[in-house]
Structure 1
Amino acid sequence: MFQQFSLNHVYFMLTGLGWTIGLAAIALIGGSIAGSVLTLMRVSANPVLSRIAQVYIFVVQGTPLLVTLFIAYFGSTYLGFTVAPLTAIAVAFSFYAAAFLGDIWRGAIQSVPVGQREGAHALGLSGADTMRHIIIPQAIRIATPPTVGFFVQLIKNTSLASVVGIVELTRTAQIVSNATFKPLEVYLTAALFYFLVCFPITLFSRRLEKRLSV
């Protein structure tokens, strides 16, 4: 017998929402660290480092996230050890986020007019000081909207984590839908939860962009 869609089911879905936010945060932190390294490699004067980072970005961006997730989860068995689902997801999502964030930030840095660098050089600033005081502040303003937009997409992509056993928001919605046979109500609730998380982030991004542009 099917159950009635109730507050208990909503609370259960809220636990899944917690996992969704947590997975997205893990991916953003790991991806930001690795993405910063990729960014520095891409803008480096060393052509070898730049090419390695470029190849990595092309490969990861050209591979579906679900495939990357399967490789991280099942690939470890071929190396003689197993990893927990959460570890595999953290690695896969971090590698995935790094490729996109590294490309976004590289584009933001390179979009700063060359005259800014030339002016800083004329003032006697070193390369590190130029990057820290002139280039990066302008690049942050440029990179903020696409970075936040990617983070919103990352939150939605956490639904793929269910394939390796993580019960996030979409997976809890599937479970509740199967138990209640009320798919419309259940998935509308899930959509509302996603909206309540993503929309404030988008608004924050717009306000931050306006503040940085002053």
Structure 2
Amino acid sequence: MVRLILVRHGQSESNVAALLDSAEPGAPLSALGRQQAAELPARFAEERIERVVASPLARTVATARPLADALGLPLPVDAGLREVLSGDLEMRGDRDAHLAYLDPVFRWMAGDLAARVPGSPEDGRDFLARYDRAVEAAVQGAVGAVVLASHGAAIRAWAGIRAANLPDDHGRERGLPNTGVVVLEGAPGAWRATEWQGERFTDVDDDPTGAGVPG
């Protein structure tokens, strides 16, 4: 059983400006974001981490680098871990743009995988397919913990959909701050969430409702 640790990148310059930023290379980390990244090795000191993989955007690579270096591990990148694409909303920061961006992501979580961000080339099926491929490649042959440095909406959508013990609205109702963490255990096709930014969950087998009640 693999322990999969999904980490949102540190604060970026686009986060500071509240801009939707999904294109490569993306904005760099802010000063706070660099500090958040530097704290990750100590934060994960008790984990038996075998691999660290990042999305190719500048902010995720810079977030994962201190952890990979501290562990003496390489830092491969996988485009499948990129953020949900912003399409026509790229680099907009107004409220309407943010709502238009999140609406299809929330609809994916509710089962409407045909929804897509305006102007985006991918719908929910495309997103899940590329993220699934990235996760499967990252965990192949692993027996300990694997850390994936990725993005807020992408982590919320993928983990909210793929974790069998989470209620359907979990990813919609709970955001993820910079360097926020979601932890799943299991294997491709059989993931269960154990933690969402400090919130812990009972195993589905121990929960008669099957809803993944917070522990």
Judging by fraction of residues, say which structure has more strand: 2
Judging by fraction of residues, say which structure has more helix: 1
Return the TM-score normalized by structure 1.
0.30
Query: Whose Rg is larger?
Result: 1
Return the TM-score normalized by structure 2.
0.30
Q: RCO greater where, 1 or 2, for CA within 8 Å and sep 6 or more? A: 1
